[in-house]
Copies of this chain bind each other. A is one copy, B any other.
């Protein structure tokens, strides 16, 4: 099998184990991976618009609208006014912050388990390459 075929096969065959396991961990907090990804983003970067979030995650706007709606229902995020009347900034609620702290522990544990035996340098290297592939695809 050629390297480029190997690459995409392994990329794909990690996907379900990753998603299913992550969602198992997150179920405790009534979250799914797509929702948690939004929370994680606004934790580390502060309040963000829907477009920011969509761009960051590489999905379309309606997808983010829906994900954020679920987080609003859970009372984990709230909307604050943006720099004009169109924009909505999404930020964590107090409840969202509390939950996040628990989730971060859970998820860190999950991620470290998943990455057992893989050095930080390797993790960074793979991140760099996956990002490059993403950029190649978007050109």
Residues of A within 8 A of B (CB): 1, 3-18, 21, 33, 37, 40, 44, 56-59, 108, 111-118, 120, 122-127, 129-134, 136-138
Dominant SS among interface residues on chain A: helix
| Contact assessment for A111 and B8 in the assembled complex, using a CB-CB cutoff below 8 Å | yes
One of B8, B118, B138 near A17 (C-beta < 8 A): B138
User: Is the pair B133, A114 in contact by a Cβ cutoff of 8 Å?
Assistant: yes
**B123 x A6 contact (CB < 8 A):** yes
- Nearest-neighbor residue (CB-CB) of A116 within chain B: B136
Residue A130 contacts which of B14, B57, B112 (CB distance < 8 angstroms)? B14
CB < 8 Å: which of B5, B17, B44, B125 contacts A58?
Answer: B17
